Chains A and B, each alone.
Chain A
Amino acid sequence: MAVALVLVLIAVGSVLFHLVSPWWWTPIASNWRYIDNTIIITFWITGAVFVAVVLFMAYCVYRFRHQAGRQAHYEPENKRLEWWLTLVTAVGVAAMLAPGLFVWRQFITVPEDATDIEVVGQQWQWSFRLPGPDGKLATSDARLISPDNPLGINKDDPKSQDDVVIEGGELHLPVGKPVKALLRSVDVIHDFYVPELRAKMDLVPGQVSYIWFTPTRTGSFDILCAELCGVGHPQMRGTLVIQEQSDYQAWLQHQAARSFARLSPAGSQSD
């Protein structure tokens, strides 16, 4: 009796906790509302299964508890029932998988008009590179890294001349424009993670990975590292500032001026 009651309380309590507890996701700031929707679908389906299973157990524990004279029913198999349950489960699983794969296809398909930017991880700070007027990023290589060239940018690449480098600071992006973030690490694996974007991806040394997103509201958001990268892992923070286009342009001009002063010491380079 007590056991059955506890089981009921677990089922009901879990649902109540889900509905009324203050702990829920932070409001989204990107185009990945589809991901949130898929999570909601999954919550509904899995929640219903959980409650059904636990309540059924509670019923069994109460109804078929040992009493004098009770004998269990002897029935090794019930093919019909087993196949029905298998079928229903398969349908439920498909109902979660189908939207999941549909959204994944969007997640990995970058729109044509996305702007390339670069996110570079190192122990334990974030750096960023934005293309200048040419809209293109120069190539890079970890073997080119030096105090003058902390991101290992290939300066023989003509596209490098207008690239804007931001070290350990804030990344600003314009609202409403799709961005393809190229992710690169110079030492260990990191993970570019902004909870409000719902997107995250590892930065793996030796290769370039990517994610794309469209910021949908202005504001300032934490950039976190989500892949253990050594003792400084929790301190590896950055800030993503989403701005209106005009504010963004003003900021970019300012950064460009600073960036060139930093990267082209007098006399070291000629055009």
Chain B
Amino acid sequence: MVDVPLGPAGAVAPSDLDDVELYHPHSWVTKYVFSQDAKVIAIQYAFVALSVGLIALVLSWLMRLQLGFPGVFAFIDASAYYQFITMHGMMMVVYVLTALFLGGFGNYLIPLMIGARDMVFPYVNMLSFWVYFLAVLVLVASFFAPGGPTGAGWTLYPPQAILSGTPGGQDWGIILMLSSLIIFIIGFTMGGLNYVVTVLQARARGMTLMRMPLTVWGIFTASFMALLAFPALFVGAVMMLFDRIFGTSFFVPAIVEMGQPLDRNGGSPLLFQHLFWFFGHPEVYIVALPAFGIVSDLISTHARRNIFGYRMMVWALLAIGALSFVVWAHHMYVSGMNPYFGFFFATTTLIIAVPTAIKVYNWILTLWRGNIHLTLPMLFALAFIVTFVNGGLTGLFLGNVVVDVPLSDTMFVVAHFHMVMGVAPILVIFGAIYHWYPKVTGRMLNETLGRIHFWVTFLGAYAIFFPMHYLGLMGIPRRYHDIGDMAFVPPSAHTLNAFITIVALVVGATQLLFVFNLFWSLRHGRLAGGNPWHATTLEWQTPETPPPHGNWGKTVPTVYRWAYDYSVPGADQDFLPQNQPGITSVVPGASHG
């Protein structure tokens, strides 16, 4: 049998620590507020991130109202509109998606899925959340600051971001935004180090790297990338803050501001763009890779079939992670950078399509000859594949330098990135919440509400963003408060905009139904038991549900097999938990590593 021999050195791995050596909370405050339990921290992260998500949702309603019915809502003037889109974008990308996937799912799932009692550095983990919370407070404070939040667009390109022609440029808005980002990165660095070290150091006996669930692989790779990518944003934010407060010239060349020459010289606006996108492109995958990992596990579990091509999936994740650091300037094809960069960055960008396509093939080949249960997590996983494939394929337009020229800065780009890094990962988040909620709370989410939520969200989001590509193809630029009169825009385009707005309002309202379900099912949901999906991974094998601090009771589990022993021939049930000895199947790569 696949009992893993212990190393001769006999060092005590952290996972072997006795339960009593963890710091157990002694009061309500240390248990629920300043908690060092990764699971509580996960819920704190998720709660704050989802709350920010609701603010961002309302902002998206406001901007859609303006686009669908320009001029009808007088309070959405140009300044307000740009503030809404800026805050919506930054909130969703950084404070919702990054925080939710890594801080939320990472904290909850890493220790449980690898068979650890907690993160390696519980105290640092707690600090990470509270620093994140401070970053959110600073960000939200800009709504109440004089001049309001920055309206520079989430990309914050200088010089406009710090000049008077942009909302918040000469007020508090941009200062609070940059400060918040700096604080966020400090907080994330503490969390991210924790996730990486925990995966490398605290795995249960027998949990080789090549036996880890892809969820852990995805979150691990994304955390590692984030640790390398966020410093570029950190540097850019510090320099821009200096330019704004002290009048330095990192990003500001000799220019005039509203007709008056400024006393600046020698700075480079393009330098900021390189720093921003050196962070910004990996960021796309920092959001996508955890989604890739999670959706692999959802598909496998609910199709009762092993994930197809596990090793290829792991290598594809790592390849995407590495390649994503050499494609950043595909966001800058029309930025005025040296045009010869176009050849290099178009090539690297299109190469990324290959490992990404492999992942898609392996997801759908996992469905092939499976035993597909159309549960809510499976429905969301299917919807993810549709939207991700759609958004990924339009990436081949924008990545292919010359094709990007007419489409860049149009609504095509907005449609593309919402489909691929908005809709697709959020569908995974929903699927994941429906999947793991029973472990977190001990109860199932309401099925009927869930199905309404699913169908409206999936079909609605597709109806919003698929037609939007064609507005961009037509030539309508993004970030226009009001399209106004353009000779090449037919009246039907305005009808389409109104349609998109109405669908967006409906889809948004349906999210409130989901929020209601989260709270309602807490008390009224069907009791779940420890392993309602008959899943193989360790988090479903805890002695208690929800798992208490320390996760495993007296002894941590020992792992005997990979995470995907579903429907193994000869087994008497259609899943074999990772900690179950006995029947061995010939799994490539599972017995070494």
What 1/0 mask marks residues of chain A from 164 to 196 whose CB sits below 8 Å from any chain B CB? 000000000000000000010111110101011
When the two chains form their complex, are residues B267 and A206 in contact, meaning their CB atoms are under 8 A apart?
yes
Please, how many angstroms separate the alpha-carbon atoms of A240 and B306 in the complex? 60
Known: A53-B385, A101-B401, A206-B254. A71 touches B567 (CB 8 A): yes
Chain B interface category by residue count: 35 or more
- Is there a chain B Cβ closer than 8 Å to A114's Cβ? no
Contact of A60 among B310, B367, B390, B481 (CB under 8 A): B367
What 1/0 mask marks residues of chain A from 64 to 107 whose CB sits below 8 Å from any chain B CB? 11100011111111100110011001100100110011011101
Query: Of the 9-residue stretches B354-362, B436-444, B516-524, which lies at the interface with chain A?
Result: B354-362
Kindly identify, within residues 373 to 407 of chain B, every residue whose CB is under 8 Å from any CB belonging to chain A.
373-374, 379, 382, 385-386, 389-390, 393-394, 396-397, 400-403, 405-406
When the two chains form their complex, are residues B389 and A72 in contact, meaning their CB atoms are under 8 A apart?
no
Taking CB atoms, residues of chain A closer than 8 Å to B483 are 234
- Is there a chain A Cβ closer than 8 Å to B471's Cβ? yes
Residue of A nearest to B473 (CB): A25
Please, how many angstroms separate the alpha-carbon atoms of A199 and B393 in the complex? 22
When the two chains form their complex, are residues B334 and A191 in contact, meaning their CB atoms are under 8 A apart?
yes
When the two chains form their complex, are residues B479 and A228 in contact, meaning their CB atoms are under 8 A apart?
yes
When the two chains form their complex, are residues A188 and B165 in contact, meaning their CB atoms are under 8 A apart?
yes
When the two chains form their complex, are residues A26 and B475 in contact, meaning their CB atoms are under 8 A apart?
yes
When the two chains form their complex, are residues B481 and A233 in contact, meaning their CB atoms are under 8 A apart?
yes
When the two chains form their complex, are residues B340 and A108 in contact, meaning their CB atoms are under 8 A apart?
yes
Residue of A nearest to B474 (CB): A23
Which of B157, B372, B585, B587 has most chain A Cβ within 10 Å? B372
- Is there a chain B Cβ closer than 8 Å to A138's Cβ? no
Known: A53-B360, A75-B306. A205 touches B255 (CB 8 A): yes
Known: A22-B490, A73-B305, A187-B255. A97 touches B400 (CB 8 A): yes
- Is there a chain A Cβ closer than 8 Å to B19's Cβ? no
Taking CB atoms, residues of chain A closer than 8 Å to B360 are 53
- Is there a chain B Cβ closer than 8 Å to A5's Cβ? no
Closest-CB distance, B298 to chain A (whole angstroms): 14
Known: A72-B305, A203-B336. A186 touches B256 (CB 8 A): yes
Contact of B335 among A82, A93, A202, A233 (CB under 8 A): A202
Closest-CB distance, A67 to chain B (whole angstroms): 8
Contact of A72 among B346, B474, B567 (CB under 8 A): B567
Taking CB atoms, residues of chain B closer than 8 Å to A54 are 386, 389
Which of A45, A70, A225 has most chain B Cβ within 10 Å? A70
What 1/0 mask marks residues of chain A from 241 to 271 whose CB sits below 8 Å from any chain B CB? 0000000000000000000000000000000
When the two chains form their complex, are residues A65 and B372 in contact, meaning their CB atoms are under 8 A apart?
yes
Main secondary structure, interface of A, reads mixed
- Is there a chain A Cβ closer than 8 Å to B65's Cβ? no
What 1/0 mask marks residues of chain B from 240 to 266 whose CB sits below 8 Å from any chain A CB? 000000000000011111110100000
Taking CB atoms, residues of chain B closer than 8 Å to A122 are 256
- Is there a chain B Cβ closer than 8 Å to A12's Cβ? no
Which of B304, B306, B336 has most chain A Cβ within 10 Å? B336
Taking CB atoms, residues of chain B closer than 8 Å to A56 are 364, 368
Taking CB atoms, residues of chain B closer than 8 Å to A141 are 254
Taking CB atoms, residues of chain A closer than 8 Å to B406 are 25, 32, 35, 39, 195, 198-200
When the two chains form their complex, are residues A90 and B354 in contact, meaning their CB atoms are under 8 A apart?
yes
When the two chains form their complex, are residues A200 and B488 in contact, meaning their CB atoms are under 8 A apart?
no
Residue of B nearest to A191 (CB): B409
What 1/0 mask marks residues of chain A from 47 to 58 whose CB sits below 8 Å from any chain B CB? 001100110110
Known: A187-B159, A187-B257, A230-B166. A64 touches B334 (CB 8 A): no
Known: A221-B487, A233-B479. A46 touches B372 (CB 8 A): no
Please, how many angstroms separate the alpha-carbon atoms of A134 and B466 in the complex? 51
When the two chains form their complex, are residues B475 and A23 in contact, meaning their CB atoms are under 8 A apart?
no
Taking CB atoms, residues of chain B closer than 8 Å to A186 are 255-256
When the two chains form their complex, are residues B474 and A74 in contact, meaning their CB atoms are under 8 A apart?
no
Please, how many angstroms separate the alpha-carbon atoms of A233 and B397 in the complex? 26
Taking CB atoms, residues of chain A closer than 8 Å to B365 are 78, 81
Taking CB atoms, residues of chain A closer than 8 Å to B268 are 206
Hey, which bits of chain A sit against chain B, CB under 8 A? Answer: 3, 6-7, 10, 14, 17, 21-26, 32, 34-35, 38-39, 42, 45-46, 49-50, 53-54, 56-57, 60-61, 64-66, 70-78, 81-82, 85-86, 89-90, 93, 96-97, 100-101, 103-105, 107-108, 122-124, 141-143, 145, 147, 183, 185-189, 191, 193, 195-196, 198-207, 209, 220-222, 224-235, 237
Hey, which bits of chain B sit against chain A, CB under 8 A? Answer: 78-79, 82, 151-153, 157, 159-160, 163, 165-167, 169, 253-259, 261, 267-270, 303-306, 308-312, 334-336, 339-340, 342-343, 346-347, 350-351, 353-354, 357-358, 360-362, 364-365, 367-374, 379, 382, 385-386, 389-390, 393-394, 396-397, 400-403, 405-406, 408-410, 459, 462, 466-467, 470-471, 473-475, 477, 479-484, 486-488, 490, 492-493, 496, 564, 566-569, 574, 585, 587-588
Contacts A53-B364, A96-B350, A229-B165 known; list 11 others, CB within 8 Å.
Answer: A14-B390, A17-B467, A46-B393, A54-B389, A60-B370, A61-B374, A76-B308, A78-B308, A100-B402, A107-B405, A204-B335
Name 7 interchain pairs, CB-CB below 8 A, sorted by A.
Answer: A24-B470, A65-B372, A93-B353, A97-B346, A187-B257, A231-B167, A237-B484
